[in-house]
Amino acid sequence: MAGDRLHIGRVPGRGLRYRLVALEDTVADALARHEPSTAASRLMAEMLVSVALAAASIKGEETLTLHYRGRTAGAVADCAATGEIRGRVTPVDLSEVAFGPYVGELVTVKWLRGRELYRGVIPVGVPTASEMLEAYFGESEQWPARARVDVRIAPEGRVVRARGAFFTREPGWPPGDDPLRPVAERLSDPAAVDGLWSAMDGGRADDEVGAWLSSPALAEAESPLRYSCPCSREQVELLLMSLGARDLREWVREQADPHVVCEYCRQRYTFDAADVERLVAGLQGSLGSGDAAGA
């Protein structure tokens, strides 16, 4: 199976579970929309790979958000259980000098149809996205994990690599010998990691993981991932209506080219005075009906 995907498997003889992610097309799509600098592209790519790995445990209509708030830059990445991923980074012109280690905080939010199910905030101060993901997992799931977020962006913005691997212990595995130790050694060896990505491209990821650990690995599931934003004109209209009639009319009057751009996918929604009058009429209609939208 080619293209962007999440691959889940187990190594029962070692008490390990793993997730592998290939995300080159999704990252290329994100970069084409946002046109960030090379450093900002790397931050965006690392956050998209991280959220895809972290979101492997959510289900149904849930969405997971990872929000890194750093001293010099920030990034938000969302992944739905259905494999739709989106992200944004600020500033888009981040310089290599400014993009240092991950220092700041990581906010994690689990959503179900726009309602928050869980919110966690952890302080971070680590050199790499891999360690930030390990810290998040250790904190939120109280379970040790080893991760490798492997991103390479060429200077002209081409996505050379956007991959991730994530290993954790099976629940119930007896403490004592640490099954993650050999994994950590492999994940820190660039040649071993390159070998894993080649095996993934050749449909032999599980064989390679099994060879790493000298114990057979079993594939459990594979599912596609893609860049997709759930924004809509209807949502943007609701947002504008929340300004109220007076501010909304003022907004359309003062703008030379009244529009709203989605900060995730860069979709542009334009409005004119007639659109705004229609929204105001809707606003007054909902106020007058005595039924505040069932909320």
Tell me the sheet residues that pair with 84: 226
Q: Where are the alpha helices (DSSP H) in the chain?
A: 24-34, 38-54, 129-140, 180-187, 190-201, 205-213, 233-241, 245-254, 273-288
Least Å distance, CB 108 to Zn ion, is 21
Beta strands at 159-169 and 145-153: parallel, antiparallel or unpaired: antiparallel
Closer by beta carbon to Zn ion, 85 or else 265: 265
Nearest distance, CB of residue 265 and Zn ion, angstroms = 3
Nearest to 64 by CA among 26, 110, 105: 110
**Nearest-approach distance from CB 212 to Zn ion, in angstroms:** 39
**147 or 262, CB closer to Zn ion?**
262
Cα–Cα distance between 287 and 227 in angstroms, integer? 37
What amino acid is encoded at 156 in this protein?
A: E
Shortest distance, position 262 Cβ to Zn ion, whole Å: 3
Q: Which is nearer to Zn ion, 227 or 264 (CB)?
A: 264
Closer by beta carbon to Zn ion, 152 or else 259: 259
Beta bridge partners, 41, equal none
On the CB side of 107, CA atoms within 13 Å amount to 12
Enter the tokens of residue 98: 């400014």
Name the residue nearer to Zn ion (CB basis): 84 or 105: 84
Of 249, 254, 257, the closest CA to residue 281 belongs to 249
Angstrom distance (rounded) from CA 36 to CA 21: 22
Nearest-approach distance from CB 193 to Zn ion, in angstroms: 33
Contact status, residue 140 vs residue 50, Cβ threshold 8 Å: no
Compare residues 215 and 267 and give the one whose CB is closer to Zn ion: 267
Bridge partners (DSSP) of residue 111 are 63, 116
Site residues (CB under 5 A) for Zn ion? 229, 231, 262, 264-265, 267
C-beta of residue 121 within 8 angstroms of C-beta of residue 105: yes
Query: What is the nearest approach in angstroms of Zn ion to the Cβ of residue 279?
Result: 19
Residues 6+ apart with CB under 8 A from 225: 4, 5, 6, 21, 22, 23, 26, 52, 79, 83, 85
- Report which residue type is found at 206: D
The minimum distance between CB 228 and Zn ion, in angstroms, equals 9
| Minimum distance, C-beta of residue 255 to Zn ion, in the bound complex (Å) | 20
Q: Considering beta carbons, is residue 79 or 124 the nearer one to Zn ion?
A: 79
CB closer to Zn ion out of 111 and 264 = 264
